[in-house]
């Protein structure tokens, strides 16, 4: 089964994908995490990706598509995959359809998360992530705090703030989303696989609630 997480930065794609991975056993694959791992390790890919990420721009399609093509070949994603942060352009979506068609597969569900704009910035600046590359659990100091401040509940790792989670870069990331990624909403709507869910603290609907609903439906065979 192939699930895509769609939505502006700060809507909770990674959080929902993490819960779905736990509940369904499908592998979460985040292109952002792959780039950040390469940045930490100082690879050539990391250097290239970082030059775009610090500006809130997208890493070029050819580079990003190749990473996903390679990742889709690996054994741990054969049961199911939750693509978190890919595709982000129409060209990436078309490349994905082509690759999947060759394997006799297709995109099963596109989960489009929306959040009121005023909540997005607040949520991103209060986001913390576990620095342990094997864990990377996402917390929020307001909505989803760890039991002990600054420490990951799951692995005891240190919680850090992402370099691009500052107000200036967030605004650029939102603009990039509007321009280059938001056309994918109509794109997947046309393919009949779009499901839109609002994540909002104000209406009391958080990522966990959405993941619970969707995992329940999938387990009951409703997809
Ligand atoms: P967020 O959705 O909160 O912005 P991500 O971790 O998904 O966070 O992405 C962080 C950055 O990594 C993006 O701003 C972009 O520079 C780069 N990136 C991630 N995925 C892609 C992609 N599919 N195509 C191009 N760039 C990407
Ligand atoms: Zn951790």
The domain limits of the chain are 2-115+168-219
CATH superfamily, with its number, for domain 2-115+168-219: P-loop containing nucleotide triphosphate hydrolases (3.40.50.300)
Is the CB of residue 127 below 6 angstroms from any atom belonging to ligand 1? no
3-class secondary structure per residue, 133-170: CCCCCEEECCCECCCCCCECCCCCCEEECCCCCCHHHH
Please give the distance, rounded to the nearest whole angstrom, from the Cα atom of residue 5 to the centre of ligand 1.
12
CA–CA distance, 29 with 83 (Å, rounded to integer):
5
| Any atom of ligand 1 within 6 Å of the Cβ of 170 | no
Instruction: Calculate the CA 182 to chain-centre distance.
Output: 14
Q: What one-character-per-residue DSSP string does 80-110 give? A: -EEEES---SHHHHHHHHHHHHHTT----EE
Bridge-based pairing state of the strands 2-7 and 109-114: parallel
- Counting ligands in written order, which one lies closest to the CA of residue 158? 2
Q: What pLDDT is stored for residue 58 in this prediction? A: 98
Q: pLDDT 10s per residue in the chain (223 long)?
A: 999 999 999 999 999 999 999 999 999 999 999 999 999 999 999 999 999 999 999 999 999 999 999 999 999 999 999 999 999 999 999 999 999 999 999 999 999 999 998 899 998 999 999 999 899 999 999 888 999 999 999 999 999 999 999 989 999 999 999 999 999 999 999 999 999 999 998 888 989 999 999 999 999 987 7
pLDDT at site 201 = 85
Ligand 2 center to residue 28 CA distance, Å?
16
Distance from C-alpha of 195 to C-alpha of 173, rounded to nearest angstrom: 23
Cα 32 to averaged position of ligand 1 atoms, centre (Å): 5
Give the pLDDT score at 52: 98
pLDDT at res. 223 = 74
């Amino acid at each position: 089964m192939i699930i895509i997480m769609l939505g502006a930065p700060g809507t909770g794609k990674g959080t929902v994908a993490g819960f779905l991975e736990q509940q369904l056993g499908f592998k979460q694959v985040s292109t952002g995490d792959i780039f950040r791992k390469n940045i930490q390790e100082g690879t050539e890919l990391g250097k290239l990706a970082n030059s775009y990420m610090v500006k809130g721009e997208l890493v070029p399609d050819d580079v990003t598509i190749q990473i996903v093509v390679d990742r889709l070949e690996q054994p741990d994603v054969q049961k199911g995959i939750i693509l978190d942060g890919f595709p982000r352009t129409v060209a990436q979506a078309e490349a994905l359809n082509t690759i999947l068609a060759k394997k006799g597969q297709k995109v099963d569900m596109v989960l489009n998360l929306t959040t009121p704009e005023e909540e997005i910035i607040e949520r991103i600046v209060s986001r913390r992530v576990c620095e342990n590359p094997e864990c990377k659990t996402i917390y929020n100091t307001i909505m989803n705090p760890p039991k002990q401040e600054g420490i990951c509940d799951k692995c005891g790792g240190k919680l850090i703030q992402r370099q691009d989670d500052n107000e200036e870069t967030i605004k650029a990331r939102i603009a990039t989303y509007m321009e280059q990624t938001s056309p994918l909403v109509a794109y997947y709507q046309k393919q009949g696989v779009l499901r839109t869910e609002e994540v909002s603290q104000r209406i009391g609907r958080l990522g966990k609630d959405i993941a619970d609903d969707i995992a329940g439906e999938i387990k009951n065979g409703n997809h």
